[in-house]
Chain A
C-alpha cells in the first residue's frame, strides 16, 4: 500500500509570533516537525509494517528549510519526501493550501492519505476535509484506531458522544487523533539513513498550480489586524505550603462561587 502523509513544519513553540508587518506567522526562526504529524507518520509506518510492503511518502508545503522537519520524519522511517516550496505559495490559506496539496497528491496517487489532527501553529484542524473534497475521496477524521484489509479501511472515530466505527474503501483520506499511537523516536541508524533518502522539491509550476490559485492571490481569507486578546482578568499562581485549600476557598468566596 502506498501511503502519503501530509506534514508541516511549524515554528518552534518558543519562536511563535506573528509578524506585525505581513500579519503572517513569522517563519524565519527555528522550525520543527508539527508534533501532531508524528502520529500520522507513525501510523503510516505501522500500516506499512503490517502489510509487509508499500511506501510511505511525505508531502509538505512550506519554505525551503522545511526540509529539516521532513528529514526528522524520514529518520522515523518514511521512504521519501516531497516539498512544495515556492515564493508564490507564501500566505496560502486553506483554499490555496488544499489546492496545491491536492495537485501533489494527484501526481503521487497514493492509496491512503494521512494527516495529523491539528497544526500546532495555526491550530487548524480542517485541511484533510478540504483535500478530500478536492480529490473526491472519502474522509474520516479523529481516527483513534485504523486497520486495513481487502482494499477497505476500518476506522474507529472518536466524537463528542463516543466511538463510531466507519468503513471506507481505498483510496481514502484519514486524519488521525494524537491518541492513536505513541510515535517512535528516530534511531541513530534512522537519522544517519535519512540523509540519503530522496527529498524532492517542487515548484507550483511543476504541479500545474496556476499562480492565481496560490499564495495570497489564491486565498479567500485575509487578516485585517492584530489586537490584544480580551482580558481574562488577573490570574494568580500559588504554591501549596499547606494552606492552599484555605486560599482557594478565600478566592472562591471573594467571587461568590462558594
Chain B
C-alpha cells in the first residue's frame, strides 16, 4: 500500500487534524508519504517526518499561496499518477473536503467521507463511518484504486515518533481553470492566549445566553474550571464573541476532556467541531434541542440560573 496524506497548513504550522491522519496511516503500512502545498513551505514540511512520514513532497509555488482547492487538486492528482500512490487521505476542513472531491473526480476514484477510523480487514481496507446522527456505523470500502478518504476532524491524535522525512520538491503545473478563482482578501483573526484547541476544558456559549453581556457567565465558569471559552457560529456572526473562539465546521475543532455547552442548540455546524470531546455536558431550556442527542449529561434548564450556581459550586470545591 502506497499512502499519501495531504498536510494542510496555516501560517507556518501544519494542522493537527492531518498530522493525526498521518500518524494513523503510519500504523497501517510503511510506505507513507505526505504532501505540503503552499508558498515558502519547505521548512514547514520538514516537520512531518516526526509524525510518521517517510517522505514529504513539497509543492512550493506562489500560485499555491492562497488556501484554494483547485491548484492543490492539480498537485495531488499528478503526484498520485507519477508516484503510483494507491490511497490518498485527508482530514476534513473547508479546504481539504474540496481538494479530496476534486482529486476523486479527476482520477475517477472512490471517495468515502466522514470516516472516524480505517482498518485493514480480510486483506481489504475498510473505512468506519457513523451515519444517521451516529445511530449506525457503516463499514465502507473502495472498488479499485486509487482510494480517497476524508476523515472527520479530530478523528486521530497526532503521535510524535521522532523520525525524519526525506523531503522532495515536486514541480507545480496547473490547469487553466484551477487558477481562475483568486483570493483578494483574508480577514483571519489570530487568537490570543492559550488555544481552545489545546484546552482540557472548554465552556461554550450559544444564542440561548440571550445577549453578549451574558457571556460573562460562560467566562466565569471557564475560569473556575481552568478552561477556555468557545462560541457558536450564530453568536460569532451576531458579533457577541470573537471568531477565534468559534467551534464548528467553520471554526475550531476541539476535543477536550470536558465540554460544557451553555444555551447551544447543537446544529450540525457546531456538532462537527466538538463531537469528539470526552464528556459533553449540555444546558439548554429547550428539551428537544439536538445537543441532547450527543451529550453525556443533558440538563433541561435556564442557563442564567444553572451556570452561575455551577460556577459557585466549582469554585467552592476547588477552593476547599
Minimum C-beta distance from A213 to chain B (A):
9
Task: Select the residue from A163, A169, A178, A237 with max chain B CB neighbours within 10 A.
Answer: A237
- Pick the contact of A237: B104, B144, B300 (CB < 8 A): B300
Instruction: Find the A residue at minimum CB distance from B187.
Output: A163
Question: Is B69's beta carbon under 8 Å from chain A?
Answer: yes
B111 touches A224 (CB 8 A): no
Instruction: Find the B residue at minimum CB distance from A257.
Output: B258
Task: Select the residue from A133, A226, A227 with max chain B CB neighbours within 10 A.
Answer: A133
A126 to B150, CA, bound (A): 10
| Chain A interface bracket (under 10, 10 to 19, 20 to 34, 35 or more) | 35 or more
Interface string of B235-255 (1 = CB under 8 A from A): 001000001000000111100
Instruction: Find the B residue at minimum CB distance from A137.
Output: B177
A229 touches B137 (CB 8 A): yes
Binds A, one of B32-40, B47-55, B127-135, B209-217: B127-135
Q: Which residues of B contact A16 (CB under 8 A)?
A: 132-133
Q: Which residues of B contact A167 (CB under 8 A)?
A: 181-182, 184
B299 touches A238 (CB 8 A): yes
Q: Which residues of A contact B287 (CB under 8 A)?
A: 239
- Pick the contact of A94: B101, B106, B135, B296 (CB < 8 A): B101
A162 touches B189 (CB 8 A): yes
Does more than half of chain A's interface fall in helix, strand or loop, or is it mixed?
mixed
B132 touches A18 (CB 8 A): yes
Does more than half of chain B's interface fall in helix, strand or loop, or is it mixed?
mixed
A235 touches B139 (CB 8 A): no
Question: With A167-B184, A168-B180, A249-B317 in contact, do A126 and B10 touch (Cβ < 8 Å)?
Answer: no
- Pick the contact of B130: A138, A229, A233, A244 (CB < 8 A): A229
A126 touches B70 (CB 8 A): no
A141 to B137, CA, bound (A): 28
B310 touches A238 (CB 8 A): no
Q: Which residues of A contact B134 (CB under 8 A)?
A: 229
A251 touches B297 (CB 8 A): yes
CB<8 Å pairs between A and B, sample of 20: A18-B138, A93-B111, A95-B105, A123-B268, A126-B111, A126-B113, A126-B150, A128-B101, A133-B73, A133-B101, A136-B175, A137-B177, A139-B70, A154-B184, A162-B187, A163-B243, A165-B183, A221-B110, A227-B136, A237-B300
